[in-house]
Amino acid sequence: MAFTSLLSSVGYLEIFMAIFFFLVFWVLADYNNVLPRNYPIFGMLPILLLHIHNIHEKTTEVLSRTGGTFLLKGPWFTNMDILATVDPANVHYIMSANFTNFPKGPEFKKIFDILGDGIFNADLDLWKDQRKLAREMIIHKRFHKCLIKTSWDKVENGLIPVLEFVAKEGRIVDLQDVFKRFTFDTTCKLVMGFDPGYLSLELPDIPFSKVMDDINYVCFIRHVFPESVWKLQKWLGIGPEMKLNNAEEVIDQVIVKYIAMKRDELSGGAKIEEDEDGFDLLTSYIALNDGETKTELKFDDKFLRDTTLNFMIAGRDGVSACLAWIIWLVFTHPGVEKIIREELKAIIPMGEGEKQRLFTVDELKNVVYLHAALCETMRLYPPVPLQHKTPQEPDILPSGHRVHPKMKVLINMYAMGRMESIWGKDALEFKPERWISDRGTVKHEPSYKFLAFNAGPRTCLGKEVAFTQMKAVAAAIIHNYQIEMVKGHVVYPTCSIMLHMKHGFKVRVKKRWA
């Protein structure tokens, strides 16, 4: 009996292994198919997981072959169906025309729970109140003065010394890391009122900045796995969720510390300075407790923590990602590099001569070709490659596709910038000229076609902040240095909520002027 039982067990094991390997080979056989197969029980998840390393390119291919909109079927009983679209008519409908039916939604908030009730997660009245306050602060002239001074100081005393050092020593440097340090320092200064000195010759290790990359990665992975899977990982403290737990601890320790310090500083009688040196967003938010404000918002420590973290992510990641991509694109397109240098040369006053110099915000305000190059960079490599919405009520998009509250609607900006149907036959080419009108001015493209700064009521408040910083850094590097990528170094996008370079941007820096 025992021997028979053993044979029976072996038989069942063989059957199980045979079925398992049959499924594996079945899925692998479909790897090169353009459109993912909808498998029983698992839906299209197996193919999605197989292509996770090149997910941006795969989704671009699928959307290109399907007219710009595709329904990705998730595993049974998981509510993971995703309607992906790049159709400008759908985008306009979702982001503007029927905005109220397409909030971020509860699913978005679950995935990005680390952001709390900050402006990125907020909907309805909570979002309106937060946006109104944030807008008032960001458009204030004191903030603008602080932005200009902070950016100039960090370029002059942070970025340039580092580039001079690596150029002199002939060292290889990860320029993407340098840009992350630059934006981390400036964002800390603008948001919390302190400069951690992350961008310095020592290139010190600062855990706060590093864990922000973990947040971006894990939140992306949560889009792929069923909620039950990542919630189990979170409960057990394993896998990607362990990274997120660690990241949250580090972030909370730092932010809570600075909130307490700022409260102590203000309660001790310190006054908010009237000039740009004393301005930061955290101080302004805390000061609202002392004044009358028509809002239901509670300016407690949780609100300040959520608001600070949302601003930190917005300020650090978007600008640093775009800077890495534009420098790579410019220095791999000598024709573009030459035109930008000629444009910058034309700004320099007569008699000053060709030499190392920085450009002021006013000098860069009206540059056309550099601005166009930045727009073209964000068309091909949008800092935030995906937008995620959840319909409140069943709806029909202009493309004819039906959506309902138990599915996600995903706008893929990475794929959108590569659609020939939107940008023409040369959609894959880096051509800043497409952003310049016949009159020689920067051409406006509708936001439902160029979504780098969002669209509709949720249009990014920091657009001008981003352009101010990006122009200052890009001009300083392109005018003063020659950038050569390390031989054999491969550049391609990482799988993350923010479109950074997966292996960084390893380069050698050479000075143009003695």
Give the residue with greater pLDDT, 343 vs 143. 343
- Asked if residues 133 and 146 have their Cβ atoms less than 8 Å apart, the reply is no
For residue 7, pLDDT beyond 50: no
Question: Per the domain annotation, does 8 fall within a domain?
Answer: no
Question: Per the domain annotation, does 299 fall within a domain?
Answer: yes
Q: Is 400 left (phi over 0), alpha (psi -120 to 50) or beta?
A: left
Domain that holds residue 338: 36-511
Single-letter residue type at 364: L
For residue range 217-263, list pLDDT tens digits in order: 899 888 888 888 899 999 999 999 999 999 999 999 989 998 898 88
- Determine how many CB atoms are found less than 10 A away from the CB of residue 117: 19
Cα 64 to Cα 419: distance, rounded to the nearest angstrom: 7
The DSSP secondary structure of 125-183, one letter per residue, reads HHHHHHHHHHHHHHTSHHHHHHHHHHHHHHIIIIIHHHHHHHHHHT-EEEHHHHHHHHH
Single-letter residue type at 344: L
- Asked if residues 155 and 472 have their Cβ atoms less than 8 Å apart, the reply is yes
Torsion of CA 232, 237, 241, 244, to 10 degrees: 140
Single-letter residue type at 482: Q
> In this structure, what are the phi and psi dihedrals at residue 202, rounded to the nearest 5 degrees?
-75, -20
Question: Per the domain annotation, does 47 fall within a domain?
Answer: yes
Name residue, tokens 């960084």: 504
For residue 124, pLDDT beyond 90: no
Mean pLDDT of 456-472: 93
Number of folded domains that form the chain: 1
Which residue intervals of 381-495 are DSSP H helices? 413-416, 420-423, 463-480
The CATH number that applies at residue 140 is: 1.10.630.10
Question: Per the domain annotation, does 424 fall within a domain?
Answer: yes
- Determine how many CB atoms are found less than 10 A away from the CB of residue 31: 11
For residue range 379-398, list pLDDT tens digits in order: 999 999 999 899 999 999 99
For residue range 271-322, list pLDDT tens digits in order: 555 555 567 899 888 887 655 555 667 788 899 999 999 999 888 899 999 9
Token duo for residue 450: 């160029």
Give the pTM: 0.90
- Asked if residues 81 and 73 have their Cβ atoms less than 8 Å apart, the reply is yes
Cα 8 to Cα 414: distance, rounded to the nearest angstrom: 53
Cα 244 to Cα 242: distance, rounded to the nearest angstrom: 5
Question: Per the domain annotation, does 438 fall within a domain?
Answer: yes
- Asked if residues 499 and 384 have their Cβ atoms less than 8 Å apart, the reply is yes
Question: Per the domain annotation, does 9 fall within a domain?
Answer: no
Torsion of CA 460, 372, 177, 513, to 10 degrees: -140
Q: What number of residues does the chain have?
A: 514
Token duo for residue 95: 């982001």
